[in-house]
Structure 1
């Protein structure tokens, strides 16, 4: 049985898994995982867009004030029988560090929109996973609506480059 070396895109710690393992990558560094969970729990889920913008203005000034709802992309990728709903400002770079089969769709959005999608499909969440969901007709219909509204994700990313 061959072993595959994998480097965490966040903390860069080297991990190992069996070659051919199709499960989504999970960092084995406890500090990395704990930091991610602490950041997720610290993010207020009920702030309005205006409140978030005001907070950014107060903390960082006008130079970094961005629209918190559309500052980046919410992406949908498949991996086996699961679909990941994630967010990134640079989806192409994120996909280079993420095991996936296919980029299904992208829509303008940031962690706010991503959180809304996670809540919308919470009943489909893979147990123990925050961003992975079981494939389902409801989720596929949502993805089809995003593609119809925003277009082919590969074409969008090609235009963003």
Structure 2
């Protein structure tokens, strides 16, 4: 498996969108509101990749994972960490997050930050095993209940 930065010459937007949608599909009947992944288009995904630091994991010529990293004040925000369902449990997510940690350190950012839906307790546990701690509860616009939690990982 190789991990490569998605840059200007990347032309596999349809495959990247399919990867994100397939890896987020299990959430469809679980979370409310629906995942923002459903609002992605080929054009908006390409724009997101231009604005953020994006990597793809490739194995046998096939996209099997991705991560989008966005520098913020004091954090590197992790979004759209996606692993193909058939490739989950093989350490790919952990490798992509390790790369995000390197980027955060290079940029002088002391922590990673991510958000995950309140209903996805398995994700909470996985991120906790990877060193993240819950730091906030949030509600999407129009909701009076908690719909997501924020988790951070301090880097030493």
Q: Could you tell me the TM-score, scaled by structure 1's length?
A: 0.27
Greater strand fraction, Structure 1 or Structure 2: 2
Bigger RCO (CA 8 Å, 6+ sep) = 2
* Structure in which a larger fraction of residues adopt helix: 1
Which is greater in Rg? 1
